[in-house]
Structure 1
Amino acid sequence: MEPRNQTGVSEFFLQGLTEDPELQRLLFSLFLSIYLVTILGNLLIILAVISDTHLHTPMYFFLSNLSLADICLSTTTIPKMLVNIQTQNQSITYTGCLTQVCFVLVFAVLENFLLAAMAYDRYVAICHPFRYMNIMNPRLCGLLILVSLFLSVVNALLYTLMALRLAFCTHLEIPHFFCELAQVFKLACSDTLINNTLLYLVTSLFGGVPPLCGIIFSYTQIVSSVLRIPSAGGKYKVFSTCGSHLSVVSLFYGTGFGVYISSAVTESPRKIAVASVLYTVVPPMMSPFIYSLRNRDMNRALRKLIDRITSLLSLSRMI
């Protein structure tokens, strides 16, 4: 029977990363561990920033929001995958799929804007140190977060509305572990030319391009400023303040470009799905480790927080 258009699609089917039962059990344990580490690591970052007054600065304010976005992004994708593996039921409702698409886009784009805001913060701190507190005031920091969230939501809603106007065929299997917008578009029986055109246009205007341009501009100015410092020690000291952020930016955009290149050179959807794990799962897990290992202030705050938690647990046992 030939596939036909369905206007009342009830559910999609997520094929996941493998159909091998043994590998599925391994993946369940692996992704559950990754998810718990991601939640715990980012939650500790947020609690450390809140509890330590020395971290009540714009840079750590943006970092705590980045950690919150990481938690939300991981929660949008991994739990559904774990439930599917555990129940051996790969279905996801039409509404659930589009909801997942929307939230993945919101938090992925929000991370882009937050990384750009953090790059701007470092630019002001290094290039305009005497005006830093005047420029990066609480009002501006709050405004940057609100604008980033607003643009992320608008971007996600536009994409989701594009998907809503599509008619789908009877073949509704998504070769991925979550509902990815590009894969949903490929299942459509209706013409997707307008959707794909708007996809690239909206991405250029609201998605990853503007934040990336902002990051490149900020670090171009930072490098130019650092090169004017006469001593090598001074250069290292100033540039080291950007080390953690640069590592996270490299990880985030490096894995993103890796997924794009892999999708361009291979036609295997399953290989693209495996590559997408690096973009959606690895950066949220690694970000807390990068900031705790490369940042002395964060390292010290985390130690204090862990000591407090340990003391409270010991006291509760005694009582």
Structure 2
Amino acid sequence: MKKAIVLLLALAVLGGAVFAQDAAIAFSGYIDTGIAVFTEGSADPTLGLWGDDSGKTSRFNLQAAYTNGNYGATARLRAQGDFTEDYPVFFVNRAYVWGEMFDGMVKTVAGRLGDYTWSTAANDIGNFDTMTGFMLQIKPIEGLNFGVMLPATSDATARPLLKDALADLNFGAAYDVDGIGGFRAGVDLSPVADSTMAYFGAEITAVENFVFYLDYQATDLGNDVTGSHYLFQEVDYTMDALNVGIDLEQQFWAYTDAPIYLSFGPYASYSMDKFVLGAAFTYMMETEDAAGDTFSGIYINPYAKYLLAAKATIELGAKINTGDIDGAASPLAADKGRYYLTYTWSF
């Protein structure tokens, strides 16, 4: 991995000289780290590293993107964890090449992907970030993009049979309409019976200052036990410095005695020059038809941000879970809290 880091640094030095005439190479990065106090029930609080934007103790990305007309390549190195001497280790988060043909109507991508072309706007359902394989995109008219992604592995001991690989295809489509919004849909096939996933997403921007999101995902289609249906809706409104919204979630399982999960989450924020004050509140409920029990939980996230620069932010906030379940509908043995001060910088 040290060789990979050296290669990226070498490209940074040589990029302007070697590629200046016909191509462009761009470097970008991201770091998210900070500290947090963690509480759980009556136990003594603990202190640790925490990057709230990435949801990890800390995260660092370094990316190089080379473009030369209708082809190019992208590589991203990532480290995340405690940033100690032994951990984390840099690893390749993305490494892919791409090329366009027929006046941009056909695009191919291969390697360790980082593609969100066909994924939903609200929850990124259907993305191929960090997946390895080959992707074919067809763009016959403005705004329309559809195609197929074939997963593949470089591990010789884990190569699937060709028939299984062809049964593991991903099909996706994206359609953007000026003045209306964007639509996404896809199907993730599986060589395992009753394991196919399908999804649909919409981002409607037809009304000024309003955005409406809708996501739908069906998993394990045809499976009467593990099959599920997930729905997400969000309405977002911005008026000058004020932003308010609400998101709703529903999840149902095909099995009649399985639980039903519902959530209701209003949020708001207000910007004042370089300051942003905001808060989010979510009420969650899970019912179990078989036992007749109902579980609920509350999530609260007040925060204050200060914009140090265009892409640099420091944030002070708290994330508190109370009740029977947390945001993932997992059992909550005791109230949990995370009180954080984090720093995020993109360059």
Into which bin does the TM-score normalised by the smaller protein fall? under 0.3
Q: Which has the higher strand share?
A: 2
State the TM-score, normalized to the length of structure 2.
Answer: 0.21
State the TM-score, normalized to the length of structure 1.
Answer: 0.22
Which structure exhibits the higher relative contact order, with contacts defined as CA atoms closer than 8 Å and separated by 6 or more residues? 1
Q: Which has the higher helix share?
A: 1
